[in-house]
Structure 1
Amino acid sequence: MTVYVDNYRCPATVGRLTGRWSHLTADTPDELQTFAARLRLRPAWFQARCRYATCPAPDGVCVHYHYDVVDTMRIRAIHAGAIPIDIRDFGALITARRAAARQTAEANR
């Protein structure tokens, strides 16, 4: 299982929580869900909805799947085995997922 957490650290307030937010993702949605459960992240916080018609969503799961996490959770994730990556690397992961999803869709036509 490979899980990643980026260094985006965008300041924002979500509900009652103010912090610097980063993205927690993994190679597959199932791996991410398993890791998130170990961190006690709520499944309802999982983000996997495509906002753009151009984004392929194989099996109904968008290639942008992730959890938003604040700095304290980012540190916990790293201690639990998540690989820290740059925000540009997160973008590269999404780009690779999108290309693979398009390739799979074309092969299934």
Structure 2
Amino acid sequence: MAVYVDNARIPARVNGTSGRWSHLTADTVEELHQFAQSIGLQRGWFQTCKTRCAPVGQPCPHWHYDVAASKRAQAIAAGAKEIDLRQWAEIARARRAAAQQATP
């Protein structure tokens, strides 16, 4: 099991916080929530797609927390693996493929 943080560093202002934001994700949702809590992220900040990104009956493969640069650094210090934005896309593709195989 692993937790990952990408290098997106997307400039944005979110709820009054300006910064460069990246995506924090993990091999399982449970592991992600546990890790996020350990670095002080609120469960309500968990995100999935706002539009349908997967076939009906399949979960969104893009679940993550957005993290500003300071939380990104904290996540890495706590053991999150740094990944490239392309690797984040590969993780989402693999989740989608696994969900399709699991759906009869």
2: CA distance between counterparts of 1:93 and 1:43?
A: 21
Give the alignment's TM-score, normalised by structure 2.
Answer: 0.92
- The alignment's C-alpha RMSD in Å is 1.4
Counting aligned pairs with the same residue, the percent is: 50
Partner residue, 1:99 = 97
Partner residue, 2:23 = 23
Task: Find the residue that maps to 1:13 and give its secondary structure.
Answer: strand
Quick one: which amino acid aligns to residue 77 of structure 2?
H
Give the alignment's TM-score, normalised by structure 1.
Answer: 0.88
Once the two structures are superposed, the pairs formed by residues 20-59 of structure 1 within 5 Å of their partners are: 20-49=20-49, 51-52=51-52, 54-56=53-55, 58=58
* Alignment deviations for residues 82-101 of structure 1 (CA, whole Å, 9 cap, x no partner): 00000000000000000000
1: CA distance between counterparts of 2:2 and 2:48?
A: 18
Gaps of 5+ in 2: none
Gaps of 5+ in 1: none
Partner residue, 2:14 = 14
2: CA distance between counterparts of 1:83 and 1:41?
A: 17
State the aligned residue count. Answer: 103
Deviation for aligned residue 1:34: 0.5
2:76 to 61, 69, 78: 78
1: CA distance between counterparts of 2:73 and 2:33?
A: 18
* Alignment deviations for residues 60-102 of structure 1 (CA, whole Å, 9 cap, x no partner): x421110000000000000000000000000000000000001
2: CA distance between counterparts of 1:39 and 1:47?
A: 17
